[in-house]
């Protein structure tokens, strides 16, 4: 039986749209937003996906919001909960409720540059390689077990906007791949909390930036 997922968004949801276009081997049970005017809700509906809104403004604190959100999610009985630009810090209780089933994508090569303003910080530090990471969510913000990463070179003329655009292109490639692996039972967590990919051969090519002469 195919797995099912619920996707959480707060805005346009470009990663959500990339997932919907990727013909994933799972059923997208619903797209849920904490904002009623999130453009991604219209995009989901155009794909025939059920949508729901759980507004954080209707709740006095994070715990009550997360409780309400979990109630809506559980109504769709998903195997995995996918964060795609969901701009809320989730409580430890919520994260533990979906332990091993809650997935996020972050615009940096974790564990470097957790949190916000990742592209600005990377440029400020002068790093030559930047990227994005798909990972399991744990109570330790942006530090869960890593599933897949994509790296891009940081160019000398880059701005936060140009770097973000190049990273986002890779996000749209690796997020669907991570969800495919999950839904095909090709991922497991070992005793050390690291991700093991079953039946995947890894290549040893290096990304060097700037390139060698």
Q: What is the reported pLDDT for 98? A: 97
Q: What is the reported pLDDT for 83? A: 98
Q: What is the reported pLDDT for 213? A: 85
Structural domains in the chain?
Answer: 1-98 (3.40.50.170), 105-200 (3.40.50.170)
Q: In what order do the strands lie in the sheet with 51-53?
A: 51-53, 26-33, 3-9, 80-83, 102-106, 129-136, 146-153
pTM: 0.95
Residue 155, H or E segment: none
Q: What is the reported pLDDT for 205? A: 83
User: Which one, of 149, 138, 140, lies nearest residue 110 by Cα?
Assistant: 149
**Which segments of the chain have a pLDDT < 50?**
none
Q: What is the reported pLDDT for 1? A: 67
Using alpha carbons only, what angle is made at residue 159 by residues 156 and 161, rounded to the nearest 5 degrees?
Answer: 140
Q: What is the reported pLDDT for 139? A: 94
- Residues with catalytic function: 106
d(CA 32, CA 55): 10
| Alpha carbon distances (Å) from 47 to 12, 37, 165, 169 | 14, 17, 25, 21
Q: What is the reported pLDDT for 96? A: 97
């Amino acid at each position: 039986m195919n797995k099912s997922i619920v996707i959480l968004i707060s805005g346009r949801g470009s990663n959500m749209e990339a997932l919907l276009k990727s013909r994933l081997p799972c059923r997208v049970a619903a797209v849920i937003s904490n904002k009623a005017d999130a453009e991604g809700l219209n995009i989901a509906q155009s794909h025939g996906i059920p949508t729901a809104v759980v507004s954080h403004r209707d709740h006095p604190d994070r715990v009550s919001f997360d409780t309400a959100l979990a109630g809506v999610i559980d109504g769709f009985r998903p195997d995995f909960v996918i964060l795609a630009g969901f701009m809320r810090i989730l409580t430890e209780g919520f994260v533990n409720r979906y332990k091993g089933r809650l997935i996020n994508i972050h615009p940096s090569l974790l564990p470097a540059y957790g949190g916000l303003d990742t592209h600005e910080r990377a440029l400020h530090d002068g790093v030559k390689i930047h990227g994005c990471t798909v990972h399991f969510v744990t109570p330790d913000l942006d530090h869960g077990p890593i599933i897949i990463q994509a790296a891009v070179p940081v160019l000398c003329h880059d701005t936060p906007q140009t770097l973000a655009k190049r990273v986002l292109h890779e996000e749209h490639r690796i997020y669907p791949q991570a969800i495919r692996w999950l839904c095909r039972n090709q991922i497991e967590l070992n005793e050390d909390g690291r991700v093991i990919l079953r039946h995947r051969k890894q290549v040893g090519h290096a990304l060097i930036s700037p390139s060698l002469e």
